[in-house]
Chain A
């Protein structure tokens, strides 16, 4: 059973790789395209996967950031993400994992309550972003944000590390929630 580990490979020169995991191929593809359109000093590589574990016979670069995409309209996508989380090593959760919830805008279509995803992100101590990936105007800022996060996780931003970023993101939320 292959488990993803953050430091088991050598980093590529000026390369930053993100892995997007989610059940909805179309949404992931659109997000990947938006990210690649962004201006970035590093070379960006975006990998898409429906679920983990990843096939072991492929030669892939070191993964710097994993984003799990949950569609609030589909319970299946939530279950898929929960299953995939088991194939990620614990050390990845030190700032190199994030959750993205899409579909909160259309409340009438939601099968998953947003608090379920919030609780999931809390359990894994990782940041959660909400974004309607289907809407172009909302997707572009999130893509920008992800590119910035990716650069930090790949170590391309001097003075800020992934763990540093994680603690910055956490301190802006209500401290009472830390007890959960």
Chain B
């Protein structure tokens, strides 16, 4: 949720500061416009990203509670703030959403042969999935199927999972007014039809809007660098990149796999300041990979589009799909 702001302040144009004094009681919309103008009207120094040393997740102990989020492929959506969402009404919401889903399924909009219509929806908060104290709590929505069989242990099979979170959303939280809850990131795992139904219900109930979140090549290269930077005791998988070469009639895909220890060694030779990752380091890391490839195959990977990055820690695809593979303790 962070953007390319510098930590320091910038010299303000005198006209804009006079304008700010004039609007003493700035409405949230004015604050939003001001922050958008601030972001586009100055050039930040090379973007830096601090590696958070100790996140809320670790503080709120139990890594087991969020273990079920690992090893699943999540599709990402970006979400506008929810209007009049309350964390105390979660039971009410689960009831309403169950009724909505049952109604939708009976309408025949999502007819799947042999599917059990007895479903249960649960809303729960995910403690600790936030960046700073100011971030709203993350919450989880699950669609479970109630077993029809009259067996002793009624197992609820999870059909669909979705969770909403806000990590380091300071720049967004400034401009959001009282009635809105800002949880801009939505991750969904499960059938596309269920995602659509849940999305429709949220849009109707909280007047928000979902849009698929694509991850561009620039951000993927940052992710590759930051995930390679993680210190690991043992590596599960090779570090893999996938590029798409735009050529007609069919695009060509180039896959490049590196031994994870080599990737880490490369990163260590590039990385200078501890606790911080800079744009130059990421560019240099990627340039080393590109020039190595060019030396062997005479293909300029920098002219192609990075589509997928996969490391032992996590993987991400440009269509907005991520998978976290490892629960790190350090």
Contact = CB atoms under 8 A, between A and B. Distances in A.
Contacts of B13: 174-176
A74 interface: yes
B306 A76 contact: no
Contacts of B12: 176
Given A79-B302, A179-B11, A108 B42 contact: no
Interface residues of B, number: 25
Nearest to B290: A75
Given A118-B43, A175-B13, A75 B214 contact: no
B221 A177 contact: no
A79 B302 CA distance: 9
Contacts of B302: 74-76, 79, 111
Interface residues of B, dominant DSSP: loop
Nearest to A109: B305
Nearest to A173: B41
B44 A115 contact: yes
A34 to B, nearest CB: 22
A118 B47 CA distance: 14
Contacts of B221: 111
B42 A112 contact: no
Given A174-B41, A175-B13, A111 B217 contact: yes
Contacts of A74: 302-305
B10 interface: yes
A122 B216 contact: no
A71 to B, nearest CB: 9
Nearest to B16: A174
Contacts of A177: 42-43
B218 A113 contact: yes
B84 interface: no
Contacts of A118: 43
A111 B43 contact: no
B71 interface: no
A23 B303 contact: yes
A109 B12 CA distance: 33
A108 B43 contact: no
B157 interface: no
A179 B165 CA distance: 39
A108 B216 contact: yes
A37 interface: no
B300 interface: yes
Given A74-B302, A75-B302, A111-B306, A122 B43 contact: yes
20 contacts: A73-B305, A75-B290, A75-B302, A76-B302, A79-B302, A109-B216, A109-B305, A111-B216, A111-B217, A111-B305, A111-B306, A113-B4, A115-B43, A118-B43, A119-B43, A122-B43, A174-B41, A176-B10, A176-B11, A176-B13
Interface of A: 23, 73-77, 79, 107-113, 115, 118-119, 122, 174-177, 179-180
Given A77-B303, A176-B42, 17 more contacts: A73-B217, A74-B302, A76-B302, A107-B214, A108-B214, A109-B216, A111-B216, A111-B218, A111-B221, A111-B302, A115-B43, A119-B43, A176-B10, A176-B11, A176-B13, A177-B42, A177-B43
